[in-house]
Structure 1
Amino acid sequence: MFLYKLEIQGFKSFCDKTLLNFGDGITGVIGPNGCGKTNVSDAIRWVLGEQSAKQLRGDSMEDVIFNGCPTRKPLGMAEVHLTFKNDRGILPTEFSEVTISRRVFRSGMSEYFLNKTPCRLKDIKDLFFDTGMGSHAYSVIERQMVDNILSDNTNHRRFLFEEASGITKYKQRKTEALNKLDQTEGDLTRLNDIVFEIERELRSLARQVGKARRYQRLRDDVRDLDLALTADLITKLKEREAKAKEEWQEESVRREGVATELDTIEAQLNDQKLALLELERELTTAQGGLKDREEARVAAEHQVVLLRERATGLTRRAEEATDEAARMRERLIETQGREQEAQERLAEAREMRETAQGDSETNEASLNLLEQDLRATRAHAATHKQLSLDLFSTEAEKKGLCERYRERQIALGERRADAELRRNDQLERASFLERSLVEGTERRTQLEAEVESARAELAAGEDAITAANDRISAAEAALSQLKQQAAAADSRLRTLLELKKNFEGVSEGVKALLAAEASLPGMLGVVADVLEVPSEYLDALEASLGEASAFVLVENREAIEPALGRLRSLESGRATLVDLSALTASPRIDGPQHAGVLGRASDLVKCDERFRPLVDRLLGTVFVVESREVAAELAHLSMGGMRFVSLDGEVWERGRVRAGSGKSTGGLLHREMEIRDLSGKLADLSLAIEGATTEREQLDEARALAIETRDQARWMLDETKTALESQVRELSGVDRERGIALKDAEDRVKEMETHDIELEALARSLAEAEAELASFQSELDAVRAQLAEADIEVKAKEMARDEAAAKAQASREALLRYSREASEWETTWARAEQTVRELESAIKHREEEASQHSGRIAEIEAEVAGLSAGLTGLLESEGSQRERVLELQKVHIGLKEQVQAGEDAARQRRFEVTELGERLHMLELDRVQARADLDRTFERLRTEYEIDPEQWQPQPLPEGVDAETAPRQLEEARTKLRAIGPVNLLALEEYAKKKERFTFLTQQREDLHKAKAQLLEAIEKINVTASQMFSETFAKVHENFKDIFKTLFEGGDCELRMTGEDPMECEVEIVAKPRGKHLQSITLMSSGERSLTAIALLFAIYLVKPSPFCLLDEVDAPLDDANVDRFLNMLRRFGDRTQFVVITHNKKTMEAAGCIYGVTMQELGVSKLVSVNLDGVDVSHESRREAITAAIG
């Protein structure tokens, strides 16, 4: 494997695309200072993955992009491609040729490619692991790296040994394993906390689950019993509905017979009405004809007026057209005069234009001759100017060299000052870190105590949340029960109110009066609306009142007549009206003295005092008794005039009884009392629900507060733990930083000494460069004098040229002025000619318009005469039509009287139909009541049990339960269900989820324990393998280093030492003693000795693990000629196994190279390459030197 080629574009000073091909042996890169040859080294380091802009001699990665020069604009991108031949398979890839590429844009975006395929930086670093190649490996060596290898900071030396021993990837894997181990331990800690919390929650949920399961069993028993009893109730309600429907059909047949007679009478009445309608239509037509004749007469009169007005307007317009034609003739004469003037001025302008054109052509010819002479003189001056620029460029290079020396002096001075300032800062920082270490230890102790306190608060918060959840479950159950009761009561109330709103349960006549109550003064509703009856007497009093509960109450006699009139007009049926003002107090009769008598019915009813006479009249002779037996006995013993009603609604009187099966719940009194009870119940339930909701909200707030407290405690625990971990890490980091600060202070002292030496050398170089600059400036002054004379001659000829140009310009302007004037007069003449034509046409149009208006006036006068003659006929037709209308009106009055008689006969039959309709309505009401009860039952099935009644298949009573004992058993089951108290049904699902999560997390914890053990085992294996590899490589390099050191120094002694027991972390020290010297430290060696020592170590490593290529950037600069020879011998010795690219100023190194690239900067700020292959050149030094000189110009 070897380095094949390097392509650079836009990188630093290499603006254009630049290609370097590398062959075997040594390739040299040469050029003067500042030309950009070190940018070749930076390009290779950059494409290999260097991330430090400082290492590339910049402040940011944007600095590597070509930033422009006086002749070129900045570029937006830099890219480098580096190609290797992988024929020996050193790189872990199947490709025989590998190209790595890197791009960077000014936006900061960076791209990497591997064989033109986008990849990551990590992919490129992994490719070069343990190959000796990379941005920081020993394949790229520069002077700064020589200093770093021999500095007191042994990290650079250790990195070389790690790369040579091949343990870099092991250290990378160990770092990754340690990171994973830290992450695993952190995960275990968090997982243990979570598992502990879930275990505690599971214990609490287990108790709630048992209670919830008992609740579900009882709830299922209640459901089964309730549904079985509901199915029986549905069957009874359906039978009641069917019976009412059958009776309704029978009464409906009777009603149809009466309705047929009514239809016959109404048919005759319709015929009479049709005749009346036809007569009315004929009368309407006659009246319309009369109106049409009147409108025609008025229209004719109006048309005559309009025509006369139009004739007047046309006369005025004809006069205006004649006047305007006269004015246009005057304007035509004036415009013809302007047209003649424009023709004369146009001829004069054309003559002046031809004269100006001849003068312009003469002046242009003279100007062209002077321009040719000026160009020749300028070319002569340009030759002198180019020579001056060339000399000035050379002078600028000399000045630039001196300036760079001065800048280097300033930079080194600043770096020395920075090093001194850094040393003082590091000493001060070490002292500050020592104090921070003491304070941090105290803070760690405090945080450990806070962690324990936060754990206790978290446990207390969890207990509070559990207690709050239990209370919320109980409150939710109570609230749900209240809402179910309220929904049932509200549904029943809405049904009753709807029946009341539609006036169900009363006759059609009563309905009609109640519907019109707002428009009838003195209406007070029906009897049932004004009574208040205790629930235990409701059946008895409902039966006692009978139809009287639907009697309509009015205040006085005056209110009766409007009500009767409304009944007659609507023909809606019968109604009984009671005049309260006509009622007086009834005499009270004594009731029987019997233990079974509960009281007089009128005394058991509450009402307003003004209704008391009505109540006494209706119920004063009615007595409520305990049972039907008592009622029968008292009725038999009474002398008449009294009625006795049992609590179940049987009404007894002497010789008569009114009774029926079951309780009546569909009467007006029942309905009114139930509406009042339900309204009160709903109000009470609303208050209870509001209180329960408030309690539930308060419990939610309490739970939210408990959760917030728990979360705050958990957050505080996590924050404190994090702070503790951070504090421990910070203490470790502070201790480490203190050591680094002390070590850095020592390094800065050595750096200051190095800078002092470099400053002395720069002062000498600057003096030599300034002497060369002074001798060169005299030649430049002579060339500048010649250039000044040429400039004077150019300026004289430019003045002559400018005068001729001014004359030519004046001729052109005169020609342009006369041409413009001729064009303007041409336009004026054409415009005048067009205006003449337009005026002649307009005059003709106005004269024609006046003639047309005169003709139209004659036509209008003839039309007015015709309309006046037609008006006489219209007046005669209007009189005859008015007589026809009067005859038809007399016939219409007689026919209308016949229709009124027919309507009276139909009204009588309609009354009979209404009475039968009331009977049908009562039957329909009973059916509707049964259907309403059925619907409420269905609604309860939907709301309570979410059952669709249409698809429901009822189940029989559970085994061992009969129909008689089922209601009692249902109530017992409900009592047991209520006794359980609040139940958290969500606990069942929550317990299953928590249990599943607990099992999962427990398994995860076991997996983490296994992963931790595997990571520890892997780290141990990595330590053993890497330590062994490092020790073996170190021993081999040590022996090689001794041999090569003695070869380069022609004697002397050296040694490599490992300080520390762990090979993975130990430092590597170098002890070097050149022949005849006994130095205590390698820092006391000269620059040349330091370079040779670093080269000896580099080649000692190459003997163990050679790098396919090596880039040496001015490493030979400190060496004298003898040491350069020894250095070159080492390069030739390793040339068969390593490819060398050397950036150098040394002539001997240049002569040793097989191929040389010269870097020049012919264009300021832009580097160019010139290559020469020396493998085919004569081996003599003179021949090679001439070839090199030719290559770099």
Structure 2
Amino acid sequence: MFLKRIELQGFKSFADRTVLQFDQGVTGIVGPNGCGKSNINDAIRWVLGEQSTKSLRSGTAMSDIIFSGSEVRKPVNLASVSLVFDNTQRIFATDFDEVEITRVIRRNRDAQYLINRTPCRLKDVTDLVMDTGLGRDSLSIITQGNISSFADAKPEDRRSLFEEAAGVAKYKKRKKTSLAKLEATQANLERLQDILDELERQLGPLEKQAEKARRYISLRDELSSIEITVLADEIGSLKEQVSQLEQDIDHSRIQEGRMSEDIQRKEASVADLRRETTELDSRILELQKQYAANLQERVSLEKRKTQLDEQRRRLLESGSDEDRRSQLQALASEARLEYEDRLDRLNSLEQTRQETEKNLADLRQKQEVLQKERSTASNRLQDLQRRQDTVTAMLRQPYTHQQGVNAVMKARQSLQGIEGTAAALLQPKEGMGSAVNAALGGAVFNIITTDEQCARGAIRFLKRNRSGRATFLPMSVCRPRFPKKDQETIAQAAPGAVGWAADLVDCKDRYRNVRDRLLGNIFVCDTLEHANETARRLKYGIKIVTLDGDIVHTGGSMTGGSQKQGSSLLTLQDEQRQLEKRAADAQTAVQELSRSLAPLESQVQQVQEELVQLQVERAKLENIAALKKEKYESLKSRLAAAGEEEDRQAVQDSLAAELSRMHRTIDGQESQMNALQQHRRETGESLTGLEEEIRILRRDLSALQNESRKGEVAAAGLKSRMESLLMRLNTDYTMTYEFALTQKRDVDLEQARIRVRELREEIREIGSVNLDAPEEYDALHERYADLKKQKEDLEEAGTRILSAISEMDETMTTQFDEMFHKIDHELDGVFSAMFGGGHARLILTDPEDLLTSGVDIDVQPPGKRVKNIQTFSGGEKALIAISVLFAILKARTMPLCIFDEVEAALDQANVERFARYLSKFKEDSQFIVVTHRPGTMEQCDDLYGVTMQKDGVSTILKVRLEDAREMAASA
């Protein structure tokens, strides 16, 4: 292997592309001081990986090696150096006959290494040249400074040159890496041991917790498998009971409807019978009056007949026809006037009767309207009462779905400082139940306590009895929350504003802080649209609810939709208050309608009696008018025949006939009155019977309605219980009832219930459980096992590292010892040749420790005593150091050596000795010598001259020996 050429561009003073071709043997590089000849040595070291800018004699940054320009030349932006080696002997571990190593750096500090023009890493370059004798710190590159520092170095520092010669540097590097690994391994072992110790401390208690948790989980799983069956059976049973109750209620309502219809029909019949009774009473009264009138008329006729008889007797006695005619005319005139008077009175009476009938019709219409309104009001009152009963039943169990709240409220007498729930202490104003309920959310079930101690006591009670969870709000730490002034102004001016939720709630003064804490910064709008608009104006900074219970949360998210009737406690309370008011209003309406009907019914009765009286009087007048008309017509006929005796007889006969008819009429009226009175008695009995039936029906209807209400209350209670079980099924087991049915087991339900109680008792005795303990234990145990395995692996790795270090120490000791003795052996001969006699030898400062021992040099020049190298002059020390260098080259052949003015400190005679001795190695090694000494130049096979013009750029040219001497002379 040998260096074939160097290509430089932009490196230090070599601004232009420069190529130096090399052959085997000794190549000299000469030139005056400052021309840049040592930059070639720097370029070689830079390509091989030198990272020190100080060592490269450049600035503070690696980019300073790039040609920076001169007065006449611009700076360049890139520095590139390539070394091309012959590799036909495969010294480099690569299958190429020629190996090119390149390093490039740019002004922006981007750097790059290339091997055979393929980008690579610095490590790839270092690995490639390792064991070849090359390298930035190897023996292959020696400068004047190296010679001086070697001669003046401490024995321990001088050792590195011999280690490089022995080829143990790579082992030291590996050992250093191995020691670092060993140190890291030991640190990891200590860290792992600390962790393992801590894990062992945790595993013991955690194992007990895991066993406890597994026991709990086993019991819980058994409980769930059994309790799901029990819950499904109870829910199914409740569903059947509710269904049966609802069927019974529906059947009762149908019966109520039928009974109400029956009552209405019977009441209509009663009204008809009452009207008929009234009419019968009127007819009887009329007949009675007609009968009395007829009796009176009969008496009058009999009296008249007697008068006529008397008149006839007197007429017969007087014998004057003219007197009889005058009397008849007077009677006829009297009869006509009486008849006309009766007609006038009859017409007036008819008009009065028609008006009375119209008045009666109006009164009856009003009566029917009021009766219908009263019936409607009564039905509405019954519906409200039924709903009241249902709501009341639901409010009796307000916390069915809140196990913890329910438990605390039931035990509040035995607990201290339990004021009540927020729902119980804060009463929404009318119509605000849904809004306040939405504003409170889950806080509606917050339990208000006097102070924190009372809250802690209640929590301990829940834990002790495993009665679920609840949220407590101690009044002692309750602080109001109010909106900012600008928020308050904006909200109140927004469209659809109702007000702040806290202002829509009534409570005692001592609970105002609770109210303001829960509701103080929540605003209420009438609709969701207005709530959105208000929220936008407030930049979604506060919670806004609507009267329907929709919510616009802070941040802009919304909650809303339909709600099940009575789904919230506050809504139920609000509904109960409204029902109470509406029921009271309905009751008042029924009472007012009843009070309005009473005088109206009395008025109807009075008008009916007046109408009957008018009808009787009318009949009487019609009868009298008929009699008067008949009498008048009779008198007119008699007057026409007044002169005849037959007429007088006719009058008597007429009166007799009229009396006879009157007798028959009276007899007929007696029979008719008897028949009407009998009918009246029968109608009265029917009316009494119907009224009794109505009373019984009303009693039965009331009883049926009571039963219906009881059924509704019972159904509401069962539904509440069923919903509680359904929620428990969903909360505890995340199941629907339908899915639970598929999980039912065929078990004895009574035994199952007993087992459920036993399991609950066993679970209660277990106490608090960390359900994550089994998983935590398994994870911790697995981690413990993994870390223990890691520890074992690290211990094994540490053992392997120690073994490798031991092997490397053995190898380094052997190689160093062998090389040391070889060099020591060669040194004596080299020293004798270089000094013209004398002796030199290498001494180990600590022969017992070959791995760290320093190397010293004892020298005995010709004719002098043995002295240490430090006692000689500078030139002598340089020659001794060069002797050691040549001894090393004899002990270990180097394929390439670069000497940079190593002989500068020698006198001319010693330079010639150096040059002659150097030429002995050129058969086995390639030398590149930077020099300005003629003696060295004479021994070079090729010479390159380096010059620098005014532009500050170095140039290369091949020179003859005479030219080189001139350059050296001008240096």
| Distance in 1 of aligned mates of 2:465 and 2:945 | 95
Residue in structure 2 matched with residue 1124 of structure 1 by the alignment: 911
Alpha-carbon spacing, 1:109–1:158, altered in 2? closer, same or farther (3 Å): farther
SS of 1:104's equivalent in the other structure is strand
| Distance in 2 of aligned mates of 1:8 and 1:144 | 24
Residues 1:17 and 2:90 aligned together: no
CA shift for structure 1 position 238: 3.4
Residue in structure 2 matched with residue 1083 of structure 1 by the alignment: 870
SS of 1:3's equivalent in the other structure is strand
Residues 1:34 and 2:34 aligned together: yes
Alpha-carbon spacing, 1:84–1:157, altered in 2? closer, same or farther (3 Å): farther
Residue in structure 2 matched with residue 526 of structure 1 by the alignment: 583
SS of 2:20's equivalent in the other structure is strand
CA contact (8 A) 1:477 1:983 kept: no
| Distance in 2 of aligned mates of 1:208 and 1:65 | 71
Alpha-carbon spacing, 1:666–1:200, altered in 2? closer, same or farther (3 Å): farther
Residue in structure 2 matched with residue 1059 of structure 1 by the alignment: 845
CA shift for structure 1 position 73: 2.5
Alpha-carbon spacing, 1:497–1:1137, altered in 2? closer, same or farther (3 Å): same
Residue in structure 1 matched with residue 826 of structure 2 by the alignment: 1040
| Distance in 1 of aligned mates of 2:702 and 2:596 | 38
Alpha-carbon spacing, 1:1154–1:562, altered in 2? closer, same or farther (3 Å): farther
- CA displacement 1:146-196 (0-9 Å, x = unmatched): 111211323553222112211111111111111111111111111111111
Residue in structure 2 matched with residue 494 of structure 1 by the alignment: 567
Q: What does 1:201-240 correspond to in 2, within 5 Å?
A: 201-240=202-241
| Distance in 2 of aligned mates of 1:1003 and 1:497 | 63
Which of 794, 799, 802 is the equivalent residue of 1:1016? 802
Residue in structure 1 matched with residue 167 of structure 2 by the alignment: 166
| Distance in 1 of aligned mates of 2:829 and 2:47 | 35
Residue in structure 2 matched with residue 154 of structure 1 by the alignment: 155
CA contact (8 A) 1:1113 1:1144 kept: yes
| Distance in 2 of aligned mates of 1:97 and 1:183 | 41
Alpha-carbon spacing, 1:202–1:663, altered in 2? closer, same or farther (3 Å): farther
| Distance in 1 of aligned mates of 2:24 and 2:50 | 26
Which of 457, 461, 469 is the equivalent residue of 1:483? 469
What TM-score comes out, normalization by structure 2 length? 0.54
Alpha-carbon spacing, 1:1058–1:172, altered in 2? closer, same or farther (3 Å): same
Which of 953, 975, 981 is the equivalent residue of 2:741? 953
CA contact (8 A) 1:474 1:983 kept: no
Alpha-carbon spacing, 1:206–1:1190, altered in 2? closer, same or farther (3 Å): closer
Residue in structure 2 matched with residue 1156 of structure 1 by the alignment: 943
Amino acid at match of 2:946: V
| Distance in 2 of aligned mates of 1:111 and 1:655 | 109
Q: What does 1:840-851 correspond to in 2, within 5 Å?
A: none
| Distance in 1 of aligned mates of 2:903 and 2:461 | 91
Alpha-carbon spacing, 1:1032–1:950, altered in 2? closer, same or farther (3 Å): same
Q: What does 1:190-201 correspond to in 2, within 5 Å?
A: 190-201=191-202
Segments of 5+ residues of structure 1 without an aligned counterpart are 260-470, 504-513, 518-522, 528-550, 565-653, 671-925, 1175-1183
CA contact (8 A) 1:554 1:560 kept: no
Residues 1:1098 and 2:885 aligned together: yes
Residue in structure 1 matched with residue 104 of structure 2 by the alignment: 103
CA contact (8 A) 1:15 1:66 kept: yes
| Distance in 2 of aligned mates of 1:143 and 1:1063 | 28
Q: Percent identical across equivalent pairs?
A: 38
CA shift for structure 1 position 993: 0.8
SS of 1:524's equivalent in the other structure is helix
CA shift for structure 1 position 123: 2.5
Residue in structure 2 matched with residue 1141 of structure 1 by the alignment: 928
| Distance in 2 of aligned mates of 1:1107 and 1:224 | 87
CA shift for structure 1 position 934: 4.4
Residue in structure 1 matched with residue 962 of structure 2 by the alignment: 1185
CA contact (8 A) 2:249 2:711 kept: no
CA shift for structure 1 position 139: 0.9
SS of 1:1163's equivalent in the other structure is coil
Residue in structure 2 matched with residue 448 of structure 1 by the alignment: none
Which of 747, 752, 759 is the equivalent residue of 1:973? 759
Amino acid at match of 1:1185: E
| Distance in 1 of aligned mates of 2:110 and 2:937 | 39
Amino acid at match of 1:36: G
CA shift for structure 1 position 1140: 1.0
| Distance in 2 of aligned mates of 1:563 and 1:36 | 135
| Distance in 1 of aligned mates of 2:590 and 2:257 | 36
Amino acid at match of 2:228: L
Residue in structure 1 matched with residue 536 of structure 2 by the alignment: none
Alpha-carbon spacing, 1:1121–1:478, altered in 2? closer, same or farther (3 Å): same
Alpha-carbon spacing, 1:989–1:1110, altered in 2? closer, same or farther (3 Å): same
Alpha-carbon spacing, 1:557–1:6, altered in 2? closer, same or farther (3 Å): same
Alpha-carbon spacing, 1:949–1:1095, altered in 2? closer, same or farther (3 Å): same
Residue in structure 2 matched with residue 70 of structure 1 by the alignment: 71
- CA displacement 1:336-386 (0-9 Å, x = unmatched): xxxxxxxxxxxxxxxxxxxxxxxxxxxxxxxxxxxxxxxxxxxxxxxxxxx
CA contact (8 A) 1:129 1:168 kept: no
Residue in structure 2 matched with residue 112 of structure 1 by the alignment: 113
| Distance in 2 of aligned mates of 1:500 and 1:248 | 27
CA contact (8 A) 2:834 2:914 kept: yes
Q: What does 1:447-466 correspond to in 2, within 5 Å?
A: none
CA shift for structure 1 position 1153: 2.1
- CA displacement 1:57-113 (0-9 Å, x = unmatched): 234234322222111223333221111111222222222211222223444443322
CA shift for structure 1 position 29: 0.9
CA contact (8 A) 1:1037 1:1100 kept: yes
CA shift for structure 1 position 14: 1.2
Q: What does 1:691-710 correspond to in 2, within 5 Å?
A: none
CA contact (8 A) 2:228 2:740 kept: no
Which of 935, 949, 952 is the equivalent residue of 1:1165? 952
| Distance in 1 of aligned mates of 2:712 and 2:32 | 123
Alpha-carbon spacing, 1:249–1:110, altered in 2? closer, same or farther (3 Å): farther
- CA displacement 1:113-139 (0-9 Å, x = unmatched): 222222232322222223322112111
Alpha-carbon spacing, 1:140–1:943, altered in 2? closer, same or farther (3 Å): same
SS of 1:1076's equivalent in the other structure is coil
Alpha-carbon spacing, 1:131–1:242, altered in 2? closer, same or farther (3 Å): same
Which of 732, 741, 760 is the equivalent residue of 1:944? 732
Amino acid at match of 1:997: R
Q: What does 1:856-1005 correspond to in 2, within 5 Å?
A: 934-954=722-742, 959=747, 961-963=748-750, 966-1005=752-791
SS of 1:952's equivalent in the other structure is helix
What TM-score comes out, normalization by structure 1 length? 0.44
Which of 990, 1006, 1018 is the equivalent residue of 2:792? 1006
CA shift for structure 1 position 1129: 1.7
Amino acid at match of 2:962: R
SS of 1:994's equivalent in the other structure is helix
Higher mean Cα deviation, 150-159 or 10-19? 150-159
Alpha-carbon spacing, 1:92–1:131, altered in 2? closer, same or farther (3 Å): same
Q: What does 1:135-150 correspond to in 2, within 5 Å?
A: 135-150=136-151
Residue in structure 1 matched with residue 178 of structure 2 by the alignment: 177
Larger Rg belongs to: 2
Q: Over aligned residues, Cα RMSD in angstroms?
A: 4.2
Residue in structure 2 matched with residue 87 of structure 1 by the alignment: 88
| Distance in 2 of aligned mates of 1:479 and 1:1192 | 110
- CA displacement 1:498-518 (0-9 Å, x = unmatched): 677778xxxxxxxxxx97x8x
| Distance in 2 of aligned mates of 1:181 and 1:1083 | 39
- CA displacement 1:636-655 (0-9 Å, x = unmatched): xxxxxxxxxxxxxxxxxx99
SS of 1:1160's equivalent in the other structure is strand
Q: What does 1:310-325 correspond to in 2, within 5 Å?
A: none
